[in-house]
Each structure stands twice: as C-alpha cells, then as structure tokens.
A and B are shown apart, each in its own frame.
Chain A
C-alpha cells in the first residue's frame, strides 16, 4: 500500500549497488508487487529483473526465500542474482536482482491461446508446486498474476512475497484465492493451502465473472466450497475438472505429487472427448502445413544450390 503511491523511476535510471558494486540500468516497469516495484534491467550484457522496495528487512526476507530455493534446487540457473542497496540522492533504495522471466499471466494466456492449454499449464504448475513443497515451502499468494506462462505453456512462479515455510502462518494472500476467505480451512502454510488456490485459479480463469460475482454477493457465513462446486458443475469448461477441483478444495490429496498425477489422468480422456469431429485437430493440421513448407523450402534449397 505504501509502495503503490511510490513514484516510478524513469527508464535509463542507473542503480549502483553500494556493497557489491554492480550497476543496473532500468529499462521498464514490469509490475508493482505487494512490497515493491519490479523493473526489467540490464547489467552489463545480461538482462534481469530488479525489485526495489522500501523496507530492507522485508525485501531481504523475500531474497532469503529465493536464496534458499536456489540452494535446494541446484541443477537450474539461480533465481537470486544479487542483493544490494542503491543510493539515489538522499534516499537509500534496497533492491535485489533476480532472473527475468518472460511470459504472461495465466488468464491472459488462456484468453489468447485458448482453453486447450489448461491441461499442460495446470500440470506444469502442479509439478512446480510439488518441487517447492518438497523444499519445505508453500507458495501462499498463488494467483493468475503470479504465474507467468511462456512459450508452449511453460510455467514460472513469480513474486515470492507470500512464500512461507511449512507450518507457519501464510505471509501474504489474495482474498479470492484464500481458503480462509471461503471458510475452507486455516491459513497455516501447508501443501493443501496451495491446492485450494490452484482450484481457485482455474475457476477464476475459466469463469471469472461468475466467481467474482459470487464472492461479492455471498454473505460471509455462506462462503463455502459447496457454492464454488455449484458454479463448477454449471460451467461447460469447469465440469470436466469437477472431480479434481472438489478434491483440491477439500484438501483431499496425499501430497502434491498425487494432485499432479490426478490432474494428468483427468486430462487424457478429456482430450479425446474434446477432439475435433474431423479427427484432425487444428494444431496437427498446422504442424503438417509447417512441416510441408519446411520440406518444400529445403528441397528447393538443395535443387537450386
């Protein structure tokens, strides 16, 4: 709340870290998070995202989560690149640099590329969450804006401000996705807290209007997962996910891997059902056209060489 009123830094602003000495040239604002602004920045030849906050302790707490994830999940490129303070005139701006993740929020992606991507995105999301849970963290503030989808449904989680160690109180959440808000359980950080939010994500993505409407009109004492399930059963796109959503809302999986597996099983028959009558799905025809074109051009190249 304090940060949204904070003035934006113009593109071209250079942040020079006073401890580690690296500098970052800000290119554009990527987004305003709960406790800071995130910019796309260049440091030397590489591109990264820089989060600038006001409270160094709060920012450091977030950086700590990233650092701990980097430590646990060695085989990948690190999330956290640098933590430092920049001096801008009289003010000290604490910031950290992290891996830049291109992509768009799930809701935008599905709107642009269609509902057939729900399966892949959902699967990748659950796989990512299962890694996170195995490392002892709960993501907490799971929502469309915090899940970026890149090429071919590749999923990255961003904004770890809500990420909480297992067993503690979830640090930050969004009402609509919060199981406490829907009288469906506590705000203790445990895997089922994230499953609930995943279920809410799909309801939000596929039937956002009715969900928001429902959350506004229900009296607090009537907020309950059964209201959500009524909505699910009356939506063409959500109906096929019914069994999974019901279990997720009730916290009814053994662990996140089981949730992931259940999701995968759900997708198989549904895809067959949803297949085009002609028997040739659009994407396959497209792929065929592309390969034909490739073939022709390669042949032409060889013949005319």
Chain B
C-alpha cells in the first residue's frame, strides 16, 4: 500500500496543478492525504479549497488542524487510509463472490468474519508512506511540530506487523529549478529517519504540484510498477463506490 501525505499551510503558486498531480498519483495506486496546518486561524478560502481538492483527487482525505493536533491527525489519516484501501479491495471481492456492494450489506455474523480478515490484511500488508512537507517561509514556526508528527508516525508504523517504510521530502528545493528535496530515503522505524534540518532555504514559492510529481517519480523508481492491491483497474461502478467509501473522511 502506498500513500503520500502532504503537509502544507496554504495554496500552491508555481508549476503544475497539485490537483492534477494528485489525480495522477491515485491513478497509479498511491493515495494522497493532506494535512493543512494553521495556527493563526487564517488559511484562506483558496488554500482550504485546494487542500480538499488535492485529497479528493488523490483518493484520500484532508484535515485542517493546528500544530498541536498534527501528530494525531497524521496517524489517524494514515490508519484510516490503510483501512479504506483494504475495505475497497474486500468490497471488490465481495461483489465478485456474493454480489453484495460492501461489507455493510453482510449480515452481522458474516461481517464479523470479513472484518477479522480485513484487520489482518491491514496490519500485515506492506505500507509505504512518503511525507511531503511544505517548507515555504510561512511554515517556519510549524516545522518543529511537523518533525514531531513525522517521528511519531514512524514510531506507530514501526509497531505494525507488516513491513512499513517512511520517506521524507520537503519543498521548495534549494535551487530555483528544483521543486523538492529528499530528506530521508525509505527507512524503517525512527533511528535513521533524517529530518528537515535547520539548513532550509526559506523561499517564497510553493511548488506543490511539481513536488507531488517528484515524489510520484520517486515511487516509480523505488517501488516498481507492481500493484499491491488487486483493485487498481477500476470499472466505472467501482470508482463511484470508492468515492463513497472515502467521502466520510473528507471534511
């Protein structure tokens, strides 16, 4: 299972549309979640809309939170996305096998069995989460909380039974033509997790779209094209369903 988690505080202003980039990621089997961090209560309507749109296009969920809530939110989103991905795959199987649309249509006794299997899959499946952090000037004061949230997420993922890896990126990069920089390659647990060290160059641009595409490219290079979930060639009906499954989670 593959996820990108974007942590940002507002709208993008350079390069490709982040919404299109997220849609492309989702098409390739990577779910995009977005955490909007706002401390002074001003994210602007445009920023808020974009955050929600990126998540919707990326098949994930979005939340706008304060730095204090970030850690918990990041973990909740990761966990729910895993559950939703499994649920989607299982719903697909159920449709094939029993002709029911989802777990919810099964009688409770059968549902109990299916949910048990779903939990096993969710706990043991291989999981890769790439964190993409907006490090533009306005984010400066929030970066300590972001680092803490990342470390905390890595700690939680380490406790899973299945193999879990985390990678960390931030944007914009140091040079003008560099949309984003990798801080930490895929790593297990917290020991070798390198963070967005203090040497960040705070520039004014926010190339969210190009940065997303960069991370997508990184996924292609490091994870190959092998789809872990068997449900990535959706029929039109399925796509509707997946939107419905996730809509609960989108603010």
Contact = CB atoms under 8 A, between A and B. Distances in A.
A168 B123 CA distance: 7
B49 interface: no
Contacts of B76: 1
Interface in A87-104: 92, 94
7 contacts: A2-B249, A57-B104, A57-B115, A61-B115, A94-B104, A169-B161, A180-B156
Interface in A167-207: 167-171, 175, 180-181, 186-189
A169 B123 contact: yes
Nearest to A85: B104
Contact of A57 (B79, B118, B123): B118
B140 to A, nearest CB: 17
Interface string B222-251: 000000000000000000000000001100
Contacts of A188: 159
A229 interface: no
Sorted nearest first, the 5 A-B pairs with minimum C-beta distance are A169-B159, A187-B159, A83-B108, A60-B115, A56-B104
A106 interface: no
A157 interface: no
A108 interface: no
A181 B123 CA distance: 21
Interface in B61-96: 63, 71-73, 76, 79, 83, 87
A60 B156 contact: no
Contacts of A170: 156, 159
A1 B76 CA distance: 9
Interface in B104-145: 104, 107-108, 111-112, 115-116, 118-119, 123, 144
Contacts of A168: 123, 159-161
Contact of B158 (A60, A67, A167, A187): A187
A24 B125 CA distance: 39
Contacts of A60: 103, 108, 111-112, 115
Nearest to B71: A175
B156 A169 contact: yes
Given A1-B76, A85-B108, A170-B159, 17 more contacts: A1-B63, A1-B73, A54-B248, A56-B104, A57-B87, A57-B104, A60-B111, A60-B115, A64-B115, A64-B119, A83-B112, A84-B108, A168-B161, A169-B123, A169-B159, A169-B160, A220-B148
Contacts of A63: 108, 112
A20 interface: yes
A246 B9 CA distance: 41
A180 B248 contact: no
A167 B161 contact: yes
A180 B155 contact: yes
Interface string A141-183: 0000000000000000000000000011111000100001100
Contacts of A180: 152, 155-156
Contacts of B155: 180, 186-187
Nearest to B156: A187
B157 interface: yes
A84 B108 CA distance: 6
Nearest to B152: A180
Contacts of A220: 144, 148, 151
Interface string A63-93: 1100100000000000000011100000010
Interface of B: 63, 71-73, 76, 79, 83, 87, 103-104, 107-108, 111-112, 115-116, 118-119, 123, 144, 148, 151-152, 155-161, 248-249
Contacts of A64: 112, 115-116, 119
A247 B87 CA distance: 41
B103, B104, B248: residue with the most chain A Cβ atoms closer than 10 Å: B104
B108 A169 contact: no
Contacts of A171: 79
A40 B138 CA distance: 48
B86 to A, nearest CB: 9
Contact of A56 (B73, B111, B151, B157): B111
A19 interface: yes
A191 to B, nearest CB: 15
B104 A92 contact: yes
B248 A61 contact: no
A82 B148 CA distance: 41
A255 interface: no
A57 B83 contact: yes
Contacts of B63: 1
A273 B104 CA distance: 58
Contacts of B160: 168-169
A55 B72 CA distance: 19
